[in-house]
Structure 1
Amino acid sequence: MKQVKLAYGKDHVSIQVPDKAVVIEPRHLPGLSDEKSAVLEALRKPIGTPPLKEMVKSTDTVAIVIADITRPTPSEKLVPWLIEELSHVPKENFVVINGLGSHRPNTKEELIQMLGQEVVDTIRVINHEAFDDNELVHVGCNSYGSNVYLNKTYVEADFRIVTGFIEPHFFAGFSGGPKGINPGIVGIKTIQDFHNAEMIGNPQSTWGVIDGNSVQDAATQNCLMAKPEFMLNVTLNGEKEITNVFAGDVIEAHRVGCAFVKEHAMFAVEKPFDIVITTNSGYPLDQNLYQTVKGMSAGAQVVKEGGSIISVSECVDGLPSHGNFGPILKMRSTPQELLDMINDPAFSMFDQWEAQKLAMIQLQADCYLYSLLDEQTVADCMINHVENIEQTLKQLMDKYGPDVTIGILPLGPLVIPYVAQ
């Protein structure tokens, strides 16, 4: 037996697993020795644009878009460094827009955690309002027939910067880049179109795929309708340290970053496993079950049909309590019935995309969850509740027999596992 540490909340849980279990992790990259210097260097020698400082006039209003608290983007570092690099711009000319998508607004205390006390005290910071038409402006219609509504404050700014971090994404291929804008600061109608059942169900809408991925294409089209003049994205290791910096043009620099992530986050296995144990890479991504679907999806890439996935995710924020994810899961009694409902063109409800992905996983494998959620809540989601990970693992090993195969993703969706052809 060997011990494996699984990311869980702000710490980890340790379990004993058989020696033959395959541990699937991204190649560890050390954090940069001087993160600030690396970021400033990228701002001064960007990809596809002039240096940032040369692009911004002292009279410009500058909008900086950040990711919300469910993402580990180190905004508390990036935003102050951006403002420092643009020191010729008065602080009253800046606005930081928290890219919530359809998530709940973040509290002042959370914004301080995300940005630091000084930024919150000296810079205008606003939560994006996807549900308030008065805070949105129509900027066009994409090739999929979707009307695109964007944050009005962002559109009206003289200079627009989008920040974020790049990691594998379970239906957009990769996060970061255009996704900071869409769904980060678009209206709810655009978000629903962007996550419609046909797009989410497309086989190309999956981990590590850019070309032919309709979700990434829609995000790109929507982003370019009010293109940010500059992008600052980073990559992170398992300790949330910055490992590389990509700055400049939102498409060109992002694609370079995606290629870097793909090189370091792909993990091939010879054949799928009977049992996969996965996490959601710990805090902040494992705050709720909605986000936990990402880690489950990572595990689903390498689990056998009829296999089992054990997800280890704290879910301190519930399902969450806001939004439609929980209510949608209660609308039908089986994953297939749920999927049929969502695939009906007459059905449209925000958060359906996460329920759709979960149902697709549940049709492939039995799903188990170790979390802070109570047993009834987990059962209502058609998932098996786990009290003790090792005990559940033992029961499943007995079920699959002496030749059982086990794969483990201690950092969940920070790695893209795949079965080699």
Structure 2
Amino acid sequence: MATIKIPYSKGFVDLDVSDKNLLAILESKAHHFKTDEDQVTIARKALENPIESPRLKELSKGKNNVVIITSDHTRPVPSKITLPLLLEEIRLGNPNADITILIATGFHRLTTEEEMINKFGEEIVRNEKLVNHDCRDKSSLVDVGILPSGGKLILNKLAMEADLLVAEGFIEPHFFAGFSGGRKSVLPGVAAGTTVLANHCSKFIASEYARTGILDGNPIHKDMVYAAEVAKLAFIFNVVIDSEKRIINAFAGNREAAHEKGCSFVAELASVKAQPADIAITSNGGYPLDQNIYQAVKGMTAAEATAKANGIIIIAAACNDGHGGKAFYDTFLENATAQIIMDKIMEIPMEKTIPDQWESQILARILINHKVILVTDQCESKMVTDMHMLHAYTLEEALKMAYEIKGADATVTVVPDGVSVIVQS
């Protein structure tokens, strides 16, 4: 009997799988990556040795209006470590710089003050200027052109008016952008809702290149790179984290070169070989990524990549914040089958993309081919079943349900942290 720790909420839950059933455990090597340096040292070294760029303290000289784009409450960027270092570096070059920290909410809800304190720390929240990006507030946005895809490029005014635009974030595999980090701070991070919708259209989401770990040929990535260029994103500071959300590496400097180097590092650690099984079990990496069903779709794609056709996917995600998007929830509530949802979405042109359509499209794709059991004790069971999934309160209960469907001898592949791996066929 194997006991496997699965990230859940702010801790872990144990999963017991019989040796006769367990086929494989697929984990990113990042979770076992060892370094002798502490997190601050790793981060500071990256800032002091930027990739294809002058140091940030040099870039900030003479720049009085500086904007730092940072991730919102749904992303585990260790900003309590990274933001003070960024602020220190900017002020080394220009002690009098007017600095705005712009929270990249993308298409998400706004980050609350309590969430800001939890993420950035009391000192930064009380002493620095923080602004929530609001993709629906037209007064805070400016039209800056057309994306390569043809969609309108509308970005946050504060970002566009900055003398120096900087972004912090983290790099991990991303289920349709290839990797997070870098250019993603701008699009979708500080883009208008209409721009996000165009970039996340059904045609792009359906592309074989819009998959985890793929940048070349990825139409979503291409738009994002262009948006970062138009915004004149001058410097990025991206970290790589392990299963305990601790920094194991950091990359700073040129928005493309530093990001590419970081993605290469992550790909080397995160790539695992698929082990097709009757039952694939995963998580969304725990807090903060498992706060809602919307985000949990990411982890499901890792299980999808290693589940046999008509196999069962079990995902543990707290979903304490509910569905994560009303349009997303309503799409499943109002349609009888996942296939109906998929057919409707594929008929929607880019310019008429609706909110959360991309997440609905990916979940529908998964549900067409697999039964999904969502494990949570922090979310209403009806909400889960309304979205065409089965619900279980514990992993033990979910696995028992899966064996009843697939048989007692069913094979099991476990992907403990679904958002940390690139599952390759």
Q: TM-score range by the shorter chain?
A: over 0.9
Partner of 1:162, secondary structure, is strand
The corresponding residue for 2:56 is 52
Is 1:32–1:242's contact at 8 Å kept on the other side of the alignment? no
The corresponding residue for 2:265 is 260
Aligned residue identity for 2:273: A
Tell whether 2:328 aligns with 1:290: no
**What is the CA distance between 1:32 and its match in structure 2?**
5.8
2:364 equivalent among 348, 359, 366? 359
C-alpha distance 315-91 of structure 1, shift in aligned 2 (>3 A): farther
1:310 equivalent among 310, 314, 322? 314
Q: Hey, what's the Cα distance between the residues in 1 that align with 2:126 and 2:318?
A: 31
**1:232-291 residue CA offsets vs partner (Å, 9 max, x unmatched):** 00100001110111100111110110010000001113x411100110000000000000
Tell whether 2:13 aligns with 1:16: no
The corresponding residue for 2:399 is 393
Is 1:32–1:241's contact at 8 Å kept on the other side of the alignment? no
Aligned residue identity for 2:421: V
Tell whether 2:424 aligns with 1:418: yes
C-alpha distance 189-31 of structure 1, shift in aligned 2 (>3 A): farther
The corresponding residue for 2:386 is 380
Q: Hey, what's the Cα distance between the residues in 2 that align with 1:336 and 1:31?
A: 47
**What is the CA distance between 1:330 and its match in structure 2?**
2.0
Q: Structure 1 regions of 5+ residues with no counterpart?
A: none
TM-score by length of 2: 0.95
Is 1:32–1:243's contact at 8 Å kept on the other side of the alignment? no
C-alpha distance 333-99 of structure 1, shift in aligned 2 (>3 A): same
- Deviation larger for 105-114 or 82-91: 82-91
Tell whether 2:330 aligns with 1:327: yes
- Deviation larger for 22-31 or 168-177: 22-31
The corresponding residue for 1:6 is 6
Q: Hey, what's the Cα distance between the residues in 1 that align with 2:232 and 2:179?
A: 19
Is 1:70–1:285's contact at 8 Å kept on the other side of the alignment? yes
The corresponding residue for 1:127 is 132
Partner of 1:3, secondary structure, is strand
Partner of 2:91, secondary structure, is coil
Which aligned pairs between 1:180-329 and structure 2 lie closer than 5 A?
Answer: 180-269=185-274, 271-320=275-324, 322-329=325-332
**What is the CA distance between 1:206 and its match in structure 2?**
0.2
Is 1:272–1:303's contact at 8 Å kept on the other side of the alignment? yes
Q: Hey, what's the Cα distance between the residues in 2 that align with 1:348 and 1:55?
A: 38
Partner of 2:263, secondary structure, is helix
Partner of 1:315, secondary structure, is coil
How well do the aligned residues superpose, as a CA RMSD in angstroms?
1.5
**What is the CA distance between 1:86 and its match in structure 2?**
2.2
Is 2:212–2:422's contact at 8 Å kept on the other side of the alignment? yes
- Deviation larger for 284-293 or 110-119: 110-119
- Deviation larger for 86-95 or 382-391: 86-95
**What is the CA distance between 1:91 and its match in structure 2?**
6.1
Q: Hey, what's the Cα distance between the residues in 2 that align with 1:49 and 1:31?
A: 25
C-alpha distance 91-363 of structure 1, shift in aligned 2 (>3 A): farther
Tell whether 2:126 aligns with 1:84: no
Tell whether 2:348 aligns with 1:345: yes
Partner of 2:419, secondary structure, is helix
The corresponding residue for 2:143 is 138
**What is the CA distance between 1:398 and its match in structure 2?**
4.3
**What is the CA distance between 1:92 and its match in structure 2?**
6.2
Q: Hey, what's the Cα distance between the residues in 2 that align with 1:73 and 1:91?
A: 27
Partner of 1:145, secondary structure, is coil
The corresponding residue for 2:414 is 408
Is 2:149–2:199's contact at 8 Å kept on the other side of the alignment? no
Is 2:91–2:97's contact at 8 Å kept on the other side of the alignment? no
**What is the CA distance between 1:403 and its match in structure 2?**
4.5
Q: Hey, what's the Cα distance between the residues in 1 that align with 2:41 and 2:394?
A: 45
Aligned residue identity for 2:327: N
Is 1:32–1:244's contact at 8 Å kept on the other side of the alignment? no
Is 2:73–2:288's contact at 8 Å kept on the other side of the alignment? yes
The corresponding residue for 1:336 is 339
**What is the CA distance between 1:333 and its match in structure 2?**
1.1
Is 1:275–1:396's contact at 8 Å kept on the other side of the alignment? yes
C-alpha distance 74-31 of structure 1, shift in aligned 2 (>3 A): farther
**What is the CA distance between 1:323 and its match in structure 2?**
4.4
The corresponding residue for 1:102 is 107
Which aligned pairs between 1:59-74 and structure 2 lie closer than 5 A?
Answer: 59-74=63-78
Q: Hey, what's the Cα distance between the residues in 2 that align with 1:95 and 1:31?
A: 33
The corresponding residue for 1:39 is 43
Q: Hey, what's the Cα distance between the residues in 2 that align with 1:363 and 1:45?
A: 48
Q: Hey, what's the Cα distance between the residues in 2 that align with 1:35 and 1:402?
A: 45
The aligned length equals 417
TM-score by length of 1: 0.96
The corresponding residue for 1:26 is 28
Aligned residue identity for 2:139: N
- Deviation larger for 25-34 or 164-173: 25-34
Q: Hey, what's the Cα distance between the residues in 1 that align with 2:211 and 2:84?
A: 34
Detail structure 1 runs of 4+ shifted over 3 Å in the superposition: none
